[in-house]
Amino acid sequence: MKYVLTIAGSDSCGGAGVQADIRTITALGAHALTAITAVTAQNSMGISGVHEVPVEFIAMQIDAVVEDILPDSIKIGMLSSARVIETVAETISKHRLKNIVVDPVMKASTGRVLMDASALALFKVALLPLADVITPNLHEAEILSGLKVRNPVEMEQAAEELKKLGPDIVIKGGHLEGGCVDLMYDGKNFHRFQGKRIDTIHIHGTGCVFSSSLACFLAKGGSIIDAARLAHEFTRRAIENSYPCGRGAGPVSPLGVNDHL
């Protein structure tokens, strides 16, 4: 059995965050361990509130898990403030955790800002150098790199800039015009994973499924390139399995996807 620790926020609507991570990790045959960083009040229409878990308790959750069960990989999602970022970085450094995937969650798909602007600098210098791979979308890649990221050429430029922070880069291109292309950069070569756009509004949790599936494939011993390719295909299948839930965008569904990979 492989063990994947997700350090992320809770989605009360069940489509993203820790809930999506647990479903993904379970679908891929691994065991999900969790450390919750924030609790949100949300539904398919938006987020009405965020309650940050006290940093001492975030560290306690990670410590309790790791002192008993050593994770094979880590997925890090929503970190809403500088104190949380600092705490998570210090705790994973203390335990020398490996196979770290960071999904830089900065804004919900419904528009709510999920990371304080004041936390960005610390995020880049304290956490990202500890990661093996980061998985920003186009908007997050713009914020992190300081460059415009609207097309494949600009994705390459941003990836080269972000690689200076240390980890390998996978920029998710789901919001590109035309087809969907995820771009990976390992410091030497660009790798592209692409497919036709899937016509659906039900895409809640897409980024969470991608990053947590990537962490699962790393836990199973794959290279980052292979893990990114498999995560791309897994996420596409999860989007194909999406369904309505509420009046807004419904969630993607990772359940059963692994049976068809």
**Is 259 within a domain?**
no
- The domain of 117 spans 3-251
Q: Confirm whether 50 is domain-assigned.
A: yes
**CATH number, domain at 102?**
3.40.1190.20
Q: In 3D, which of 72, 102, 108 has the Cα closest to residue 89?
A: 102
Residue with tokens 């987020």: 47
Identify whether 243 is part of a domain.
yes
| HEC profile of 149-176 | CCCHHHHHHHHHHHHCCCCEEEEECCCC
pLDDT in tens, 251-261: 999 987 765 55
Instruction: Compute the residue count for the chain.
Output: 261
pLDDT per position as a tens digit, 127-158: 999 999 999 999 999 999 999 999 989 999 99
What span, in angstroms and rounded, lies between the C-alpha atoms of 12 and 91?
Answer: 26
At position 177, the amino acid (one-letter code) is E
Q: Is residue 261 part of a domain?
A: no
Sign of CA dihedral 54, 60, 65, 70: positive
Q: What residues contact 86, with CB distance under 8 A and at least 6 apart? A: 55, 122, 126
Assigned domain for 256 exists: no
Residue 132 lies in a domain: yes
257 falls within a domain: no
Say how many domains are in the chain. Answer: 1
Answer yes or no: is 94 within a domain.
Answer: yes
∠ CA 167-171-177, rounded to 5°: 170
Give me the tens of pLDDT residue by residue for the chain, a chain 261 residues long. Answer: 999 999 999 999 999 999 999 999 999 999 999 999 999 999 999 899 999 999 999 999 999 999 999 999 999 999 999 999 999 999 999 999 999 999 998 877 666 777 877 789 999 999 999 999 999 999 999 999 999 999 989 999 999 999 999 999 999 987 677 678 899 999 999 999 988 888 899 999 999 999 999 999 999 998 999 999 999 999 999 999 999 999 999 999 998 776 555
